[in-house]
Structure 1
């Protein structure tokens, strides 16, 4: 077990994660604070999240196995530390960042004898805060698309199922925001339109345009439509993924020129600019190029396993637990 622990600590150190210590957010992840003009931190809930992969050579020896498992990272509203680890000696583990917002654990297993099992699991302790909307919303302005930080620019572009360059979406964005003097009012008009327009209905994900056409859709569809209209209006917006749910957040500048992300809830009770959500944040974004297929684009970065020889069986672990 000590060998596993040393190996994992070396990997986590390369990620900026130290066993037993809370991980601070970096770069664009610092905007939510009591000392900023963005959303304030609300009530927190502490939970455990286990992620990783278990590989079994069930039908014979396997070689050249590589597995990819997304892991959560720190955000302004989310602190995390490593509570437990289980890394088999046959596993070589490294990390890779995707689009700057998702960390992927890459697990390589050169050889796995028949009937044996290899595990690469990490259990995080996550402290997730709700976010409280600001009281003075008149201080916010729309960002200049030409002056956006590099890490924010992708959230003005189309994504899978978020057709922000569609003529219908662009025309609607112009219509909804035309008479709004304040940036907050403009985004809120988009929010209220989508909540009124799209009646929630379970089913396959159809995307922004189809939800607009049909007037129905899953919460992913209403989230996509809100994001698409925001982007068409030059308001950066992106998807936040939590276990079993997603919601959008949008980006505005305060009167000091500092940018902030604000969440909103598309389903159930109305919640704009803040959110009473304490499930762990798994990913932020909706246009990922997976490391195992650079030609693909995914709304949510999925797990993946490949092998050069044999037929390895994989069980990807995504488990939420309480302390």
Structure 2
């Protein structure tokens, strides 16, 4: 995947920053202790996913800024941080702030993306400021349902689900080649079997290979792509067939989720591993979960639709002399 997850450095002069994307690689995380948990309703029904082993791990997110060549002012940074999801619980265990940091706060964007916001009003020449937050993340593996026969495509999706049925950046649901492939792959199938046929078609037609982000259509035409392309293509096909689907962003990787309902109308999100070892309806990986979705709005980047809410920074030099040099921190603790 192209999303840069490792610490990154850059110099900024009166401009904003968001990182480039890099390959599908995770990072080593400090494992504290194993635990166990389950979705009790899903366990009883048999039609929804259940939680397997839970891994507790420490994880650090932050920013370090140095004023190079002169003083800087008005430094404002936002960073995505882990948030709670059904398969993940997050707790802040420490906040490490240098004296020049005026404030550290958090906000949640539409779609559930949580950001930390750091403000540094003035930074003298040669000085370094930092804000680093350490989290404990309890991330569960996900087991597939035991009963898939009654699972079906939602016939009357609500407004929240309809957001996962249209186009998103790099997910071209209206392209004729995507529509044709979706209809051919899912023909005469329903529910779980239709979703699985789309999944298998993606893995058959697109070879896993790292490269630049090019979207579902180009990946299909080229016959290769990395975890983002395979994820984009599956999501596009699913949406064409009326199955809500979205991207799950984890540390150094991404995969899709799709949504089906049981006979009583209760809905569930099911993960699948588009790239790598086959895993449909389950997810053994326990990497820190960062975001879910692929069409976000960030108030600091008006007019832009974002596939992933990345780091952002703005700041200015005093008297034209300085430049804030930035290191983004995202790592196991």
Q: TM-score, normalization: structure 2?
A: 0.82
CA contact (8 A) 2:111 2:293 kept: no
Residue 210 of structure 1, CA deviation: 0.8
Structure 1 residue runs without a partner (length 5+): 1-31
TM alignment of 1:91-130, pairs within 5 A: 91-130=102-141
Distance 1:276 1:41 in 2: 10
Partner of 2:215: 207
Q: Deviations over 1:26-79 (max 9, x none)?
A: xxxxxx712234210011211111112111212221111110111110111111
SS of aligned partner of 2:298? coil
Partner of 1:65: 75
Residue 155 of structure 1, CA deviation: 1.1
Q: Which has the higher relative contact order, 1 or 2, with Cα contacts under 8 A spaced 6 or more apart? A: 2
Residue 132 of structure 1, CA deviation: 0.3
Q: What is the aligned counterpart of 2:180 among 158, 171, 184? A: 171
Distance 1:165 1:106 in 2: 37
Partner of 2:95: 85
Distance 2:264 2:131 in 1: 45
The ranges of structure 1 where at least 4 consecutive aligned residues each deviate by more than 3 angstroms after the TM superposition are none
Distance 1:171 1:158 in 2: 16
CA contact (8 A) 1:130 1:277 kept: yes
Partner of 1:26: none
Residue 292 of structure 1, CA deviation: 1.9
Q: Deviations over 1:88-137 (max 9, x none)?
A: 34332232322322111121221122222222111111111110000100
Q: What is the aligned counterpart of 1:262 among 267, 270, 277? A: 270
Partner of 2:3: none
Matched pairs, number = 287
SS of aligned partner of 2:129? strand
Distance 2:89 2:142 in 1: 14
Distance 1:113 1:222 in 2: 47
Partner of 1:230: 238
SS of aligned partner of 1:308? strand
CA contact (8 A) 2:273 2:283 kept: yes
**Residue 160 (structure 2) pairs with residue 156 (structure 1):** no
Q: TM-score, normalization: structure 1?
A: 0.85
Distance 1:128 1:224 in 2: 24
* C-alpha RMSD of matched pairs (Å): 1.5
**Residue 228 (structure 2) pairs with residue 220 (structure 1):** yes
**Residue 82 (structure 2) pairs with residue 76 (structure 1):** no
Q: What is the aligned counterpart of 2:143 among 120, 132, 142? A: 132
CA contact (8 A) 1:91 1:118 kept: no
Higher helix share: 1
Q: What is the aligned counterpart of 1:286 among 282, 294, 297? A: 294
**Residue 35 (structure 2) pairs with residue 35 (structure 1):** no
CA contact (8 A) 2:166 2:239 kept: yes
**Residue 61 (structure 2) pairs with residue 55 (structure 1):** no
Worse-matched range after superposition: 64-73 or 99-108: 99-108
Distance 2:265 2:75 in 1: 48
